[in-house]
């Protein structure tokens, strides 16, 4: 876990002197936000933003190359920075009814973004072959609502669209003792086509197909602003855009079975996106 505890300050370029006649390019300001993730059980870390100021990284190639350096530095340092400077607080979970499965995690509000990539991740000992359900609800649009992407379901909406032109896309099935299933929510495309929608809600759920052990998974939510989305094998990546945030939530998937409906599997939570503000709230159910 050294990468999560050791913060590596970058070298400022105040004293950098380009070779005479050499064309050089500097980065624009970049930021990345993650949650402090080394808190004790029963507590949660606050989001912390790391800033890579403008003109701190230099490239003889292009501004994009300098920006990639800045983004790489952010990726390498942001978790340690958050763990060093962030704070842990007791989770003020709210009970909804008598059943512990109705415990609701306080919503996490995200910064403005265009695209969201959800990764349902599990490690050895959690189970074998996690199947996920992700889809739109409550939009009032029959071609969107309650049409889930995942194994044995849909691959994306609209069918056969590219990642950039999809409303939602599933990366593909992972059947191992460890892995990650990926899903893209292209809120930018939804906003362009359905501009009359004020809010867009996403429902998430999961089930172990072959074996449930501890059942513990991580739900990693990454948001991007700008750029384009591309499906690469079973992953979905952002090109030329800026990563805005990356948050992780723990969840236990308690149900194991095959060919179950979404109402028979373990609920994970909801994402409530505001078309007007281009931001969202994440609610994980416990």
Gyration radius of the chain's alpha carbons = 20
Residue with tokens 């952010």: 74
Could you check whether the bond before residue 86 is cis, i.e. omega within 30 degrees of 0?
Answer: no
Q: Are 54 and 8 in contact (CB under 8 A)?
A: no
State the number of CA atoms in the 13 A half-sphere of 193 facing the CB.
15
Q: Which residues lie closer than 8 Å to 92 by C-beta, 6 or more apart?
A: 106
Q: What is the pLDDT of residues 246-280, one digit of tens each?
A: 888 889 999 999 999 999 999 999 999 998 889 99
| CA 218 – CA 35 distance, rounded (Å) | 13
Residue spans per domain, the chain: 2-90, 100-284
Strand partners, 154: 149
According to DSSP, the β-strands at 242-252 and 228-232 are unpaired
Summarised one tens digit per residue, pLDDT across range 29-54 is 988 888 888 887 667 788 889 988 88
For position 236, what pLDDT does the model report? 96
Q: Which residue positions in the chain have pLDDT lower than 50?
A: 1-12, 15, 93-104
At 284, list the tokens: 């994980």
Token pair of 111 as six digits: 């910064």
The whole-chain average pLDDT of the chain stands at 85
Q: Are 182 and 232 a contacting pair, CB within 8 Å?
A: no
Would the CA dihedral through 97, 98, 99, 103 be positive or negative? positive
Q: How far apart are CA 49 and CA 29, in angstroms?
A: 13
Report the pLDDT value the prediction gives residue 147, as an integer from 0 to 100. Answer: 97
Report the pLDDT value the prediction gives residue 72, as an integer from 0 to 100. 86
Q: Which fold has domain 100-284?
A: Lipoxygenase-1 (2.60.60)
- What's the pLDDT score for residue 266? 95
Provide the whole-model pTM: 0.69
Q: Closest Cα to residue 6, out of 64, 79, 59?
A: 79
- The full DSSP string for 114-181 is SEEEEEEEE-TTSEEEEEEEEEEESSS-TTTBT--BSTTSBSEESTT--TTT-SEEE-----SSSEEE
Query: Rounded to whole angstroms, how far apart are CA atoms 202 and 245?
Result: 18
The position carrying tokens 């609502």 is 145
Q: What is the pLDDT of residue 114?
A: 97
pLDDT of amino acid 105: 55
**Which contiguous run of DSSP H or E holds residue 82?**
helix 63-85
> Cβ contacts of residue 128 below 8 Å, gap of 6+?
175, 176, 177, 208, 209, 210, 211, 213
């Amino acid at each position: 876990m050294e990468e999560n505890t050791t913060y590596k300050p970058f070298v400022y370029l105040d004293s950098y002197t380009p070779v005479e006649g050499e064309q050089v390019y500097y980065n624009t300001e970049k930021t990345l936000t993650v949650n402090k993730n080394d808190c004790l059980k029963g507590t949660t870390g606050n989001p912390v933003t790391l800033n890579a100021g403008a003109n701190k990284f230099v490239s003889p190639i292009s501004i994009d190359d300098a920006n990639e350096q800045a983004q790489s530095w952010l990726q390498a340092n942001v978790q340690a920075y958050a763990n060093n400077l962030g704070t842990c607080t007791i989770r003020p979970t709210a009970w909804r009814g008598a059943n512990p499965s109705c415990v609701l995690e306080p919503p996490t509000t995200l910064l403005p973004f265009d695209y969201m990539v959800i990764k349902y991740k599990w490690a050895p000992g959690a189970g074998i072959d996690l199947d996920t359900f992700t889809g739109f609800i409550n939009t009032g649009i029959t071609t969107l609502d309650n049409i889930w992407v995942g194994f044995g379901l849909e691959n994306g909406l609209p069918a056969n669209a590219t990642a950039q032109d999809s409303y939602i896309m599933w990366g593909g099935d992972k059947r191992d003792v460890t892995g990650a299933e990926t899903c893209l929510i292209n809120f930018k495309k939804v906003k362009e086509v359905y501009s009359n929608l004020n809010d867009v809600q996403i429902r998430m759920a999961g089930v172990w197909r072959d074996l449930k052990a501890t059942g513990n998974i991580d739900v990693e939510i990454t948001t991007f602003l700008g750029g384009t989305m591309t499906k690469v094998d079973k992953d979905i990546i952002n090109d030329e855009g800026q990563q805005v945030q990356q948050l992780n939530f723990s969840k236990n998937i308690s149900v194991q079975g095959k060919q179950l409906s979404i109402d028979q599997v373990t609920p994970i939570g909801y994402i409530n996106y505001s078309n007007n503000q281009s931001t969202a709230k994440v609610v994980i159910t416990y």
